[in-house]
């Protein structure tokens, strides 16, 4: 990258396309006159009002409009909220991906599933390595998180250095690998950092986040207390260090380990192959081999710690798993905290397990992968940024980190709280929002991307709350005389067999409406449908204070 003389015109634009005002769907574009690099490309899971939606992915319209400038995706770590959208986005914007070893292996699993592996350029990056992408030079810095090979990024731009922490914590005793490279953060701080984009997930929690290694001692104690029982542990598939600690505790009791849940099997296989999980030979067995062992010789590691309907543990709890049945005496450990919004689903699974005689344990078998206040302060004190741009959090988290940045010496006017889609222009001495781009989430339903929008969701909401009435008419071609009908079909509105009188009254209401139209000589189908809808709506609201979706269908013979 050529060093430009400081003319005061150097600038870089920071454009978050997701990941603000929410936990999830992290994706940020960094743009100069000739280049764009994109950090992360995550997905979000649907909110309660997104009926039937499977995933939410970022809107990359701005990137597609500027595709000739986009140099690549730079990925901080392998969690779904940072890599989950890549298979969808790469189909529309095929640019190279840069990531650390384990992160890339997890991405490759996803690309394989979507038949994209042979079409996408990939480069594995090591800590301390620089990559040059257009106007940008990017350095990967070692951090700790709840998945190995996590990285922070230093982006060297024409306007100055921007440090992006990714998701991180400061873990002095990590289960795998080395501790976070605080020295490098300090070196960057001494040379001068223009802006810090720091993880805000746990910013409201005082103190420090506990080391992941503390969980291992808790597992040892629980395994000792339940030495005669079969043990089932539910955790996040991507928490490779947690899986390692469960395997360590199982090894001390000479137990065999069964891995269950598609995402868990994929990630554990990848991590074992690459050496990120150490497992003694023949310790992991298949579901079919379980019958050869007694309860005190088995540990099952499964997905479903968040109560997800189709995850392994939920299916086991609901007795719909093909090969695993809960029996009295089983010990089930939830090694995670419910993500906000998932509490009801988790409670439901816990209750179902308890009803079947299982002992459910939720004590101290989880620590967060995100930094609390003191660790965030440590990063600010090392990096000494001129501008603070809080990321990865809901609005309240971003505000809280803005206040913490001010405590650490960042002037109030230099704290930039952005919304997804806003364009922040950074210069060596200034930062201001200069516009906005399209940045709404795009909904994925089954195999369809983007064909479910607000209108479809509104219809689904209406149907779910009020049900459906279909009015069917058959007209004679040419004369538009009614040959049969109106027939009325009801779904989710009333139970038809017990509401025959109501159906007869509805038919009568439709007949009267049609007679009115014929008297005025109106046989236009559009007008007929509108009249049927309006008249029936008025009638049902007056009679029942309910307004089902009314769907008139007119056929011609």
Q: What pLDDT score was predicted for residue 507?
A: 81
* Mean pLDDT value across residues 456-465: 65
Task: Supply 356's token pair.
Answer: 């079947």
- Does the annotation mark 145 as catalytic? no
Residue 22 contacts by C-beta under 8 Å, 6 or more apart in sequence? 44, 394
Q: What pLDDT score was predicted for residue 431?
A: 94
pLDDT tens-digit map of 184-193: 999 999 999 9
Given 77, 145, 370, 397, the catalytic residue: 370
Q: What pLDDT score was predicted for residue 173?
A: 94
Helix axes 262-274, 101-113, angle to 10 degrees: 140
Q: What pLDDT score was predicted for residue 459?
A: 64
Given 199, 241, 392, 397, the catalytic residue: 199
* Mean pLDDT value across residues 441-465: 63
On the question of pLDDT at 3 being above 50, the answer is no
Whose CA is closest to 329, among 354, 308, 352?
A: 354
Of 18-27, 165-174, 293-302, 393-402, which gets the smallest average pLDDT?
18-27
Q: What pLDDT score was predicted for residue 45?
A: 75
| Sheet with 193-197, edge to edge strand ranges | 130-133, 136-142, 151-157, 160-164, 193-197, 385-388
* Mean pLDDT value across residues 196-211: 95
- Does the annotation mark 370 as catalytic? yes
Q: What pLDDT score was predicted for residue 505?
A: 82
Of 425-434, 480-489, 503-512, which gets the smallest average pLDDT?
480-489
On the question of pLDDT at 52 being above 70, the answer is no
On the question of pLDDT at 5 being above 80, the answer is no
Residue 448 contacts by C-beta under 8 Å, 6 or more apart in sequence? none
pLDDT tens-digit map of 123-174: 999 999 999 999 999 999 999 999 999 999 999 999 999 999 999 999 999 9
pLDDT tens-digit map of 345-392: 899 999 999 999 999 998 778 899 999 999 999 999 999 999 999 999
Task: Supply 64's token pair.
Answer: 């597609």
* Mean pLDDT value across residues 468-473: 82
Give the β-pairing of 422-427 and 298-302.
Answer: unpaired
Whether cis (ω within 30° of 0) applies to the bond prior to 486 is yes
Q: What pLDDT score was predicted for residue 7?
A: 47
pLDDT tens-digit map of 234-255: 999 889 999 999 999 999 999 9
Q: What pLDDT score was predicted for residue 2?
A: 41
Residue 34 neighbours by CB distance under 10 Å: 10
* Mean pLDDT value across residues 288-306: 94
On the question of pLDDT at 327 being above 70, the answer is yes
On the question of pLDDT at 426 being above 70, the answer is yes
Task: Supply 217's token pair.
Answer: 């001692």
Residue 303 contacts by C-beta under 8 Å, 6 or more apart in sequence? 234, 236, 237, 260, 261, 262, 263, 264, 311, 312, 313
Residue scoring higher pLDDT (465 or 147): 147
Q: What pLDDT score was predicted for residue 445?
A: 62
Residue scoring higher pLDDT (460 or 159): 159
| Sheet with 27-31, edge to edge strand ranges | 122-124, 97-99, 70-74, 36-39, 27-31, 12-18, 422-427, 430-436
On the question of pLDDT at 22 being above 90, the answer is no
Average pLDDT score, the chain = 88
pLDDT tens-digit map of 93-120: 999 999 999 999 999 999 999 899 999 9
* Mean pLDDT value across residues 496-500: 69
Q: How far is CA 257 from CA 76, 235, 296, 331, 529, in A?
A: 30, 14, 11, 14, 62
Burial class (CB in 10 A: 0-12, 13-18, 19+), 435: exposed
Percent of the chain with pLDDT over 90: 65
């Amino acid at each position: 990258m050529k060093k430009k003389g400081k003319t005061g015109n150097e600038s870089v634009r920071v454009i978050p396309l997701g990941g603000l005002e929410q936990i999830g769907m992290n994706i940020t574009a960094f743009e100069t006159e000739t280049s764009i690099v994109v950090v992360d490309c995550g997905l979000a899971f649907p909110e309660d009002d997104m009926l039937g939606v499977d995933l939410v992915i970022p809107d990359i319209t701005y990137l597609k409009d500027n595709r000739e400038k986009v140099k690549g995706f730079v990925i901080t770590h392998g969690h779904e909220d940072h890599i989950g959208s890549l298979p969808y986005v790469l189909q529309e914007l095929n640019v190279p991906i840069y990531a650390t070893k384990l992160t890339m292996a997890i991405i490759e699993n996803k690309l394989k599933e979507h038949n994209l592996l042979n079409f996408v350029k990939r480069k594995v990056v090591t800590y301390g390595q620089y990559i040059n992408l257009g106007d940008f030079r990017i350095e990967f810095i070692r951090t700790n998180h709840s998945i190995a090979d996590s990285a922070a990024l230093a982006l060297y731009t024409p306007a100055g250095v921007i440090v992006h922490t990714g998701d991180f914590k400061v873990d002095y005793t990590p289960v795998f690998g080395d501790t976070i490279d605080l020295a490098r953060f300090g070196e960057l701080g001494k040379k001068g950092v223009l802006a810090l984009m720091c993880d805000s997930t746990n910013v409201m929690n005082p103190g420090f986040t506990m080391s992941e290694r503390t969980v291992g001692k808790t597992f040892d104690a629980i395994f000792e207390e339940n030495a005669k029982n079969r043990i089932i542990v539910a955790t996040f598939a991507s928490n490779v260090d947690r899986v390692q600690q469960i395997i360590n505790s199982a090894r001390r009791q000479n137990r065999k380990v069964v891995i269950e849940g598609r995402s868990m099997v994929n990630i554990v296989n990848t991590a074992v192959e690459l050496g990120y999980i150490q497992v003694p030979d023949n310790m992991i067995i298949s579901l079919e081999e379980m019958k050869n062992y007694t309860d005190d010789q088995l540990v099952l590691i499964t997905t479903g710690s968040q109560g997800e309907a189709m995850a392994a543990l939920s299916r086991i709890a609901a007795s719909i798993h093909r090969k695993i049945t809960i029996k009295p005496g089983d010990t089930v450990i939830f090694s995670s905290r419910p993500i906000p919004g998932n509490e009801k689903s988790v409670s439901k699974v816990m209750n179902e397990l308890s009803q079947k005689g299982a002992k459910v344990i939720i004590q101290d078998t989880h620590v967060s992968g995100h930094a609390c206040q003191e660790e965030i302060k440590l990063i600010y004190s090392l990096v000494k940024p001129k501008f603070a741009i809080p990321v990865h959090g809901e609005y309240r988290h971003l505000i809280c980190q803005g206040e913490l940045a001010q405590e650490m010496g960042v002037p109030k006017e230099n704290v930039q709280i952005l919304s997804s889609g806003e364009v922040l222009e950074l210069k060596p001495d200034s930062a201001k929002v200069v516009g906005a781009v399209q940045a709404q989430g795009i909904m994925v339903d089954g195999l369809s991307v983007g064909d479910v929008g607000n209108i479809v969701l509104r219809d689904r909401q209406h149907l779910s709350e009020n049900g459906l009435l279909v009015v069917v008419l058959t007209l004679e071609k040419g004369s538009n005389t009614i040959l049969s009908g109106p027939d009325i079909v009801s779904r989710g509105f009333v139970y038809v067999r017990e509401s025959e009188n109501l159906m007869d009254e509805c038919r009568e209401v439709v007949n009267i409406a049609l007679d009115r139209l014929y008297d005025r000589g109106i046989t236009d189908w559009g007008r007929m449908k509108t009249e049927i809808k309006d008249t029936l709506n008025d009638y049902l609201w007056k009679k029942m204070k309910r307004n089902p979706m009314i769907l008139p269908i007119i056929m011609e013979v």
